[in-house]
Chain A
Amino acid sequence: MTRKQRTQLIVPLIAVLLGFIVGGVIIVLTGKSPWGMLLALARTLTGFDFSGRGGFNPRYVGEFILQALPITLTGLAVAFAFRTGLFNIGAEGQLMVGSLSAVAVALLVPAPPVIHPILCLLAAMAGGALWAAVPGLLKARFNVHEVVVSIMMNYTALYFVNWSLLQFGSTDRVKTPDFPPSATLKSEFLTNLTNGSRLNWGIIVVALAVVVFWFVIEKTTFGYRLRAVGFNKEAARYAGMRVERNIVLSMMISGAFAALGGAVITLGTFNFGRVLPSFEGYGMDGIAVALVGGNAAVGVFLSGLLFGMLKAAQPLMQSQGIPKDISSIIQASIVLFVAMRLGIEALLDLTVGKRRAVK
């Protein structure tokens, strides 16, 4: 392992540790015991109750993985854009458009089981990619910053998707009719395995997405081009790459990843399209996941699990009398500490240097 790889691994670990310490300190300040937080987290992660009462409930594990699915996908979306020199803050909107596309195919296109969800997922990817192509095109053609455009398009997506969903015929104006059984990603097998959790075949979608991300970015000539453009546009131009085209493609692929998140929620967790009063924060979570995961496939996968765990632990923490906001504070602190990576690296260098000096 090179020095660089070591710091890539160690810095996020230290940041996570520091985040938990901050959370613990705040719990102590509110007069509670941080022990409760640890119990809640351990239970979420393993399903075991370590408080002495004993008992094992795999439903917690299922729900924790379920929480990790969409944010891993938006994490991949943001990381893909980052790796290619773009900041995709519009994963939220792309996710909603992806969800709408999946709803449309689920309700309107009849297809046999297995094929049907695949069609829905493909439609979602196409929808998210097209939605993300707008900021990509504006960036490539007119140098309009993608952050501004994609934020605006998040709001556009929210209202456009809500209006569109109601066109499918709704009885209560908050959700569409249920999907036909052929379209669902729900899995009796996984639900039974995890004692009735909502865990579903979306897990396969996420696993495939992680592998595809890694393969495309690290192994293909296409990924090589995108990375070169991301690191140094001028050098990419000098080498004969079509920079503008690659910017649009990067955004589209990023959007497709985010859109898969929407499809997995809609087809797996709910089985109907939902009209949302406001953003659910998957896009922002994706930024955090990508940042902590170092924009690499494996890293995003692990940090997606971490953030999923923190989300899933909230109800358990509440039952221990710990405010669920502690979990958000820990998430925020981890992001903050990762952002301070230079400082952490400097501290590491100092301690390592001292150790060497002692030797």
Chain B
Amino acid sequence: MAHIIEMLHIVKTFPGIRANDDVTVQVEEGSIHALLGENGAGKSTLMSILFGLYQSDSGEIKVRGKSVKITDPNEANRLGIGMVHQHFKLVHNFTVTENIVLGLEPRRGPLIDILTAEKKVAELSKKYGLEVDPQAKIEDISVGMQQRVEILKMLYRDAEILIFDEPTAVLTPQEIQELMEIMRRLRAEGKTIVLITHKLKEIKAVADQCTVLRRGKVVGTVPVDTATEAQLAEMMVGRVVSFSVNKKPAIPGEVLLKVEDLKVKNTKGVLGVKGLSLEVRRGEILGLCGIDGNGQTELVYALTGLVKAESGRILLNGKDITHYPVQRRTEAGLGHIPEDRHRHGLVLDFRLDENMVVHSFFQRPFSHWGILDYNAIRKNAERLIEEFDVRSGEGPATPSRSLSGGNQQKAIVAREIDRSPEVLIVAQPTRGLDVGAIEYIHQRLVEERDKGKAILLISLELDEIMDLSDRIAVIFNGEIVAEVQASETNENELGLYMAGSVRKAV
């Protein structure tokens, strides 16, 4: 089979970093080619070069054997290259069809010929098994459907080569299954797919070839059917990685966190959490899974004091903390690894050592009589950097903004775990991190559990929930719809609860 895309000896340098260092990738026509790598390995940079968002410093791109210069995304479109971005670019109050034809509207005289467009969209949708309603408004359809609209947008523009950038990050397990099916169908119709991901399972499920990148260099390209997940992970990280979390059975003690009939409004002013109750015991990890936007964020905000609860009670070790401000909750023994590390977790313009003391800067030894002791603050950071292996350019004095995402997250985890709170609320602790960092953070959370802390884990990653939790609660539409033992359930069962189609009496 011929190579439809060849990226030869691509070099791309950003100030201080060589994002792509002599990278060569050849993609066969009609195949699914995975690009695997840790965060910052250079996958996205490489694909951005292919899609015309960046120009490479040197190297050559060939499409269908012909050398091309891709100066901007329009040029990429002309060459039949389309990209499904991680964050969809859709107009929310437009219909599916209107979004798809945007910029290429078929006309009848001065008017848009929406009927013809709808017909074409319907045909395409049927041909590839996408089952999208051309007349539905974007705001009324699910995230999975929105992604299909993005795919249709590419197909409508006659794209032959489709780049998917981390497409499953926002999907439910069922939706992921369906997306895999769609990708196979696209391949069967002769399309070529480049799949950017760091999830090994997905690669094993659909890809034909896999190119592994590490620190900007190609580690190797392997046929997927002969490679094992362990081999791929080792290529990606550069060492042997353990997948299953190593943990003993939990020995749950008394209830440390008790939530009773909690109601919380969301930013739109309607109830996002609608009478939710749960309990987390000493020495256990309760995993809370659910599709994004079912009240997880509101729940975490209410538990940690960032928003007020409308009604209900939150008990921490028997003490009613429902109306405590944030700082008193912290002092009462509540820790919080926030979902959004840039919004809540870090003051990005602070140095790393300043960020390590956001809860404790006003206490000894970090200050005396209101005057900061930068010596103590720096030493504290040095200790945590060492212990949690936070990699930073200038140690404690590194501007937090310049750390990589994984190291920013490690810094937050270090800060929160070091305080050793009785109850730790952990939201999306490993989002966007690579297997090495994930392995480490998981291990630390299990250690905290074994020390007798109560951990509430909120995650959209089902694998993470299943690996870490001792018990699993499923949140749907602001309520807990099921509660199961982690050892007695599976992805399919959880997926059904998450979609709200089945309930299990709690």
Contact = CB atoms under 8 A, between A and B. Distances in A.
A242 B325 contact: yes
Nearest to A222: B370
A238 interface: yes
A22 to B, nearest CB: 30
B345 A238 contact: yes
Contacts of A224: 354, 361, 372
A231 B371 contact: no
Contacts of B359: 239-240
Given A220-B371, A222-B370, A240-B330, A231 B347 contact: yes
A22 B347 CA distance: 39
A70 B346 CA distance: 37
B343 A235 contact: yes
Interface string A226-258: 011001101111111110000000000000000
Contact of B397 (A2, A234, A235, A349): A2
A220 B372 contact: yes
A221 interface: yes
B367 interface: yes
Interface string A163-182: 00000000000000000000
A2 B326 contact: no
Contacts, number: 67
A228 B358 contact: yes
Contacts of A6: none
A221 B372 contact: yes
Contacts of A236: 347
B306 interface: yes
B394 A2 contact: yes
A248 to B, nearest CB: 17
A219 interface: yes
B358 A235 contact: yes
Nearest to A236: B347
Contacts of B372: 219-221, 224
B344 interface: yes
Nearest to B402: A4
Interface residues of B, number: 32
A240 B327 contact: yes
Contacts of B397: 2
A150 to B, nearest CB: 24
A235 B349 CA distance: 11
Task: Name the residue among A237, A240, A349 with the largest chain B CB count within 10 angstroms.
Answer: A240
B362 A231 contact: no
Nearest to A232: B347
B249 interface: no
A235 B347 contact: yes
Contact of A234 (B328, B343, B350, B394): B343
Nearest to A229: B347
B26 to A, nearest CB: 32
B348 interface: yes
B248 to A, nearest CB: 32
B336 interface: yes
Interface string A1-45: 010100000000000000000000000000000000000000000
B338 interface: yes
Task: Name the residue among A2, A4, A220, A221 with the largest chain B CB count within 10 angstroms.
Answer: A221
Interface in B358-402: 358-359, 361-362, 367, 370-372, 394, 397, 399
Given A221-B361, A232-B348, 7 more contacts: A219-B371, A232-B343, A232-B346, A232-B347, A235-B347, A238-B358, A240-B305
3 nearest interchain CB pairs? A240-B327, A240-B326, A239-B358
23 contacts: A2-B397, A4-B399, A219-B372, A220-B370, A220-B372, A221-B371, A227-B347, A231-B349, A232-B346, A232-B348, A234-B343, A235-B345, A235-B346, A235-B347, A236-B347, A237-B326, A237-B344, A238-B304, A239-B359, A240-B326, A240-B327, A242-B325, A349-B15
